[in-house]
Structures are given as structure tokens and as C-alpha cells.
Chain A
Amino acid sequence: MKLRILLADDHEIVRRGLRSLLEKREGWEVCGEAGDGREAIEKALELKPDVVIVDIGMPNLNGLDTTRQLLQHDPHFKVIVLTITDSDQVIREALDAGARGFVLKSDAARDLVAAVDALQNKRMFFTPRVNDLVLAGFLEKGHAVSRTEAPKLPTLTAREREITQLLAEGNSSKEVACLLNLSTKTVETHRSNIMRKLSFHSIRDLVVYAIKNNLIQIELPPPPPPKAPAGPAAL
């Protein structure tokens, strides 16, 4: 029987690359594709894939919340998170969300097949940096230093995180209501609760929060060029 994989990434060109990579493996099949987290959940529930590969930085619903919601629907889903960064915070959030694999997008051509292989064999797959962080966390616990000692941020519910992402992406309350099939009044109530919990007074604060907490990702311009070389580059 074929191993069935669902791909979720907002860039069709990336999905094409991933599909081409995965389908080279005999017995593996990409059974579906999704362009955002919401579509990924719909397709996963419909297609029941063996493995779901989700990009973290997707519009409408990011990959971490997609992972959380998928596992709430069915804890048997095996999810691999694709990310452009392996910062401590992203790693922790991916682990907390329940991902069983964690692959850097830049290394996907090298690591993704191994990651799917690992999940297929009921193992997990993480980059060396994730392994280091998990080990450090384990050793930290051994020294009785608990993560609970760190100052805690107010916790948003899954619905509040979804709404925060959509507002930070520039949607109005009415548009969010439409996207989530809620009344505008309900969204306004969630919005007030979010602002109160986080002690925010403007949408700007919310956008900054969403960026810092990986709910949305921003495009950065390329760094300025280094000083001009002494002569023209050889070609």
C-alpha cells in the first residue's frame, strides 16, 4: 500500500518541488495539496493522509496552529513542520504543537525524505539544533530549573490566535467574521479580549506581537551590498 502525503505550503512552486522530491520514492504518493492552513485541515480530514507536511508561514492559518488543530481533530495525524528558521522559540512552539518532524526549508531537499521515512517507522525527525535544544531542556530539568520560572505571557486560546493572525494580516473584523463563519459581533468580542489580555491599545501592537510570535512572517529586503570590489567581477 502506498504512503499518502498531504502537502501544505502557500507557494505552488515549493509544493511542486516537494512533490517532485517525494514522488521519486517508490511507494510514496502526494495525495493532496493545500495553499493555507485552513485548506490543509479540510483536505486532511477528507483524505486521511499518512503524513502531513505543513509550512509554518502560511496565510489565514499558520502551520503551528494548523498542527494544533489537526491533532485536536485526530491525535494520530503525523505532522512534519517546514520552517525557514530554527530559532529556539519556533522549535519550542513546533514541539508544543505536537509536530513529530521538523525540517528547515533550506535543507528540505536533503532532510525531507529522511523525515518522512522516520515518521513512517514511528520515529520522530528533528534537525541537530532541535536535538540540542531538547537535550538542553532535559539537562536543565535535571538541575531543577523549570521553564515555569520564566515569566509567562498571557495565553491566547486557539480561536484568539487565529483571529490575531487574520487581523495582523490586515483583515477587518468583518472580513475575519466572514472567513471564520462567525458574526462580526463575536469577532469584535474576541478582538477586545485579545487586546485586554495582551494589554494592547492598537492594531500596530497586535501586528508586532504576531510577528514576534511567528503567527505571521514578514519579507525582509536583501541586505545592502558590501563595499564595491576593486575591479569588475570575472565572468
Chain B
Amino acid sequence: MTIRILLVDDHPIVRQGLKTLLEGRAGWEVIGEASDGAEALEKAKELNPDVMVLDVTMPRMNGLEACRVLRRQAPQLEILFVTQHDSPQMMREAIDAGARGYVVKSNAARDLLAAVEAVSQHRVFTALNVREATELN
């Protein structure tokens, strides 16, 4: 299955790590990168990805704000947060903002592929450090 992904994180080295992980999967393609929420909005409009992998804490516009805007502007786009915040409150906020998935950065190597697969099929995927990964239909 082909999945076109847009990566959004303010650290290029994290984007590089995410990219190598995602592109190891046949048919998955990272079609663009952005380093903050505002750039993410522009790139989403230009590239029309299937899934956006989005960080929370970024300069100019943070991921939560970008997610709220995208939910209105691009309802077909599935958003997956990959963040350092290992907190149920932040996860709740992300889901309330319209994200379909939430993965903690320290576990990204473990959870990211399953999460992208789930959200690309419009299923919810959330995983905190303290919990097992959960996938809900």
C-alpha cells in the first residue's frame, strides 16, 4: 500500500531518523518535510499528503495549533503526533485537536510504523511510555 507522508519537526536530525525508518517500508514515501507548524500548513496544501507526522513543540506555530487548522482545512489528511511529551494530558489535547494518533518520541522506533499504518487506515493509535500501544477502530 502506498502512503505519502509529510514530516514536521524542528530538528533536522529527528526528521532524518524518522525518514530512514519510514522509507524502510516498501511503498511508503516521505514526500516533504517542514520545520514548524506554519510551514506544515503550506506544504500540506502544496503536496496533499495522506499522513502528516507532526511534532508538538516547534517555533512559530506549534503542532497543536497546526493540527486544529488542518482539521478544518484538510479533513482527509490523517495526523499523527510524534512528541517528547509522555503525558496523558498532552495526548488528550492532541486527540481533541483532531489527531488520529499519538506516539512518544522515545518509542518512535518501536511504535511509528504501526501507528502510521493505523492512521492511514483511519484508525486511532495512541501509545504512551507507561502503557501498551493501543489501537482503536
B56 at the interface (CB under 8 A from A): yes
0/1 interface trace, chain B 70-87, chain A, CB 8 Å (1 if under): 101110000000101111
B14 with A17: CB separation less than 8 A: yes
Does B57 contact A11, Cβ atoms closer than 8 Å? no
Binds B, one of A94-102, A159-167, A206-214, A216-224: A216-224
- Whether A222 contacts B56 by the Cβ 8 Å rule is yes
Q: Which residues of B contact A105 (CB under 8 A)?
A: 11, 13
The majority secondary structure among interface residues of chain B is helix
A13, B85: Cβ atoms closer than 8 Å: no
Q: Report how many residues on chain A are interfacial, defined by Cβ distance under 8 Å.
A: 27
* A233: interface (CB < 8 Å): yes
- Measured between beta carbons, the chain A residues less than 8 angstroms from B20 are 16-17, 20
Chain B: how many interface residues by the 8 Å CB criterion? 40
Binding site for A on B (CB under 8 A): 10-18, 20-21, 38, 41-42, 44-45, 56-58, 62-65, 69-70, 72-74, 82, 84-87, 90, 105-106, 108-110, 112
Of all chain A residues, the one with the shortest Cβ separation from B58 is: A222
Residues on the A chain within 8 Å of B109, using CB: 12-13, 16
Give the 3 A-B CB pairs with smallest separation, nearest first. Answer: A17-B17, A17-B16, A16-B17
Is A225 a contact partner of B85 (Cβ separation < 8 A)?
no
**Chain B residues with CB below 8 A from A234, complex form:** 41, 45
* Residue of chain A at shortest CB distance from B45: A235
Query: What A residues does B73 contact at CB under 8 A?
Result: 232-233, 235
Determine if B17 and A15 form an interchain contact, defined as CB atoms under 8 angstroms apart: yes
**Are A232 and B72 in contact (CB-based, < 8 A)?**
yes
